[in-house]
Structure 1
Amino acid sequence: MWGFEHSLTLCYQTFENDVDHPLFPKFTLGDRYFFDYEIAKVYGDLRLSLAHLYSQSESTKGTPSPITKTAYLTEKPRYSELRLTSTYRITPRFLVDAGIRYHYDGKDAPKQETVYIGAAYIF
């Protein structure tokens, strides 16, 4: 197969609400959404792809604690990620891949860069 492949993933997750918690009766875990877009160039058994992922979690809190009189409050975690990956099919069932991932957590957070290699066997 030759040519370009595109994929777009959109997801919204609602985490469990009113979780039992010793200090916060209405403890909630919150919501999260993300999108991931990838474009790949395919050269037969070799696939080169570039992808971008963005994720955002809403801040969550519980009702005020009867003991401390304060409510649990999380941050609003968000991140963005850029990935460059190459995958090569050695046999119909065995693949190897390698890539670099650049991860950004926000203006005050450290940026992370990860280089990885891997292999997969399809059963």
Structure 2
Amino acid sequence: MIESWAFIDGTAPMSATAAVEMLRERINVGLLETWLTSSSSRMLAFISNSERAMVMLLDGEDDPGAHAVDPGASGSSKGFILANGQHDEYPDEDTLPLAAALQVIRHIMTTGAPPPHAAWSIDR
């Protein structure tokens, strides 16, 4: 059985596609950090600067998890604003272009695993 996912505020999207649309809406209003939790206690983080996004998948609250990477990307990007107001800058190799990041989110929510073609860095 595939796990179900909900936004940290308890909002449960009807589908992975609906969740991606909700993420787009959140970005449009300046909410750039979003966390989702699953029925099996996993967590999915999406932190964007509206052009790129960091996608992290954790097995639980204390797990360092893993994050999607963009091998070969160079440079870094600013503008990742966390919910606590902190402004972060990440190497581009540790983030994905926004469209690719949203595809990764959709795939994880649909299948429970990252897409087979996506590169990941294990942070454990």
Greater per-residue strand proportion: 1
Greater per-residue helix proportion: 2
Q: TM-score, normalized by length of structure 2?
A: 0.34
Q: TM-score, normalized by length of structure 1?
A: 0.34
